[in-house]
Amino acid sequence: MRRVVTGHDEQGKSVFASDTMVSAIRPSLLPGAEFHRLWGSDGPVPYPDAGIEPEALAYFPSVGGFRFGFFTLPPGTEASADRVDAERGVAELQELTPGLIDVMEPDEPGMHNTDTTDFEVVLSGHVVLELDDGAEVTLGPGDTVVQNGTRHRWRNPHPEPVVIAVFIVGAHRAA
């Protein structure tokens, strides 16, 4: 996926800081899934800047941070990765997407909850968004979701992959 980044030169003039290809992250534990981590920061970003990628260590941002990316779910995401060594797969997933597996519920595959507000747009395909009480909605191209720290999971029971753009903002959770 191509990522073009703008920034500023020493005189404050707008410039193209970079034009690069961002490789997909393809964890073996999630066959067919892809994650494109395009940009993010663990805190507010000051401007003017040179367009250098800020630090964004974990998959999900803390308060004041944000993430922008895409994720792809293959058809039949309910299927298990039975040919993958689970211990190695978990270690690899933690390395590629730090913190993602920490929010996943082992007894409810795919179900998770984060201290974030997520803005999502389905770009292609169809996907089912399920909430903790079993309520579901099927989303298609152009549909959007504002996820307000709710417990949920994504499923793709359809015959084609689904691609979703996501912008994630760190949020406070009241006790």
Return the bridge partners of 127, or none: 139
Residues shown for the chain: 175
Question: How crowded is residue 115: how many other Cβ atoms within 10 Å of its Cβ?
Answer: 14
Which residues partner with 63 through β-bridges?
170
Task: Count Cβ atoms within 10 A of the Cβ of residue 120 and give its class: 0-12 exposed, 13-18 middle, 19 or more buried.
Answer: buried
**What's residue 82's pLDDT?**
55
Q: Answer whether residue 126 is part of any domain.
A: yes
Q: Is residue 32 part of a domain?
A: yes
10, part of any domain: no
Q: How many domains does the chain have?
A: 1
In a domain, 47, yes or no: yes
In a domain, 123, yes or no: yes
Does some domain include residue 147?
Answer: yes
Three-state secondary-structure class, residue 22 = coil
Residue 5 lies in a domain: no
Please count the other Cβ atoms lying within 10 Å of the Cβ belonging to residue 139: 19
pLDDT tens track, the chain, 175 positions: 999 999 999 999 999 999 999 999 999 888 899 999 999 999 999 889 999 999 999 999 999 999 999 999 999 865 444 556 778 888 988 898 988 888 988 899 889 999 999 999 999 999 999 999 999 999 999 999 999 999 999 999 999 999 999 999 999 988 7
pLDDT of residue 79: 43
In this structure, what CATH number is given to the domain that contains residue 119? Answer: 2.60.120.10
Residue 101 lies in a domain: yes
**Domain range enclosing 133:** 24-170
The DSSP call for residue 82 is T
6 in helix, strand or coil? Answer: strand
What does the pLDDT read at residue 77?
63
So what's the pLDDT on residue 72? Answer: 97
Q: 137, 145, 167: which is closest to 41 by C-alpha?
A: 167
